[in-house]
Amino acid sequence: MSAKILVALGGNAILTKDASDVAQKEALRKTCKQLIKFVKKGNKLVISHGNGPQVGNLLLQQAAGSTKDNPSMPIDTAVAMTEGSIGYWLQNALDEQLECNNLKQSAAAVITQVIVNPNDPSFKNPSKPIGTFYSHQEAKQIKEKNSEFKLVEDSGRGYRRVVPSPQPLVIKESKIIKAIMESGNIPIAVGGGGTPVVESGDRLIGKEAVIDKDFSSEKLAELINVDKLIILTAVDNVYLNFNMPNQKKLEKVEVSEIKKYIEQGEFASGSMLPKVQSAVRFVENSKKPNAEAVITSLNNIEDYLTKGAGTIIKKSID
């Protein structure tokens, strides 16, 4: 049975160890060979994506080359720049797959503004990791060159820059995105969480921040009333006691159950927690009684479509 689906791509679907233009385009070509399976099943698709590594790298590149006459751009503009570049790569790769499979749809990237609260507490407490991982010594050198940067240790994997990450309130272009989806074409939206803006009279003014793409994806999924929110990450399932001898795979889970696990601190704040929180928000806020949120990996799409594999979160499990 066909459905309206928003698929949120994790960073591993775009960036491998090679941050070059060629490598990222090739990664997305492979990604789109998986995504096209949703379209071939007759589903209407919306795609969102992260940009943490890309926007972090761009900001470092700009800081290194900034001059009085050619200054680096602020974070909100860098978010829009990477939203545009990744959107270009993604729509190009999707159109190729649509053509190869004799499908008539087209993909279109929408530069998306996301309205946030100017008094969001994250502006005083930056916590969103962006860019690549650094050793302690590398982080120290970067801090010496860029004193305004805040770098923290991230999940035992090294040091990363962190920036404010306000909660999304309104997706400015949600009606446009919905219209593209309803037409049967494929919008690519809220890339990197969308560009954070605040209302000031009749204007929208950019803020120096990066919104979590899972939270923005959930808000968009809610506003355009899709049936399913699918969050793709590096693992096939959500786990309890992750990476421990007694880890347990979660498959079909009710919202009430997984909320208990959140309260017990089961999920890492820098990785799985926002995905689980977004899944819960979508199921609770959706107008659809059978709304479904799925957390799984890109490589598990076929098994999800044919066997229902992955972590599936609903209000109630039959």
Catalytically active residues are 11-12, 128, 213, 275
**How many angstroms from the chain centroid is the CA of residue 88?**
16
What are the residue ranges of helices labelled H in the chain? Answer: 21-40, 52-65, 75-100, 136-145, 174-182, 213-223, 255-263, 272-285, 301-307
Question: Parallel, antiparallel, or unpaired: how do β-strands 128-134 and 159-163 relate?
Answer: antiparallel
* Selection from 219, 306, 286, 217 nearest residue 38 by Cα: 306
Angle of CA points 167, 32, 129, to nearest 5°: 30
Contact, 108 vs 187, CB < 8 A?
yes
Residue 240, C-beta contacts closer than 8 angstroms, at least 6 positions apart: 247, 248, 250, 261, 266
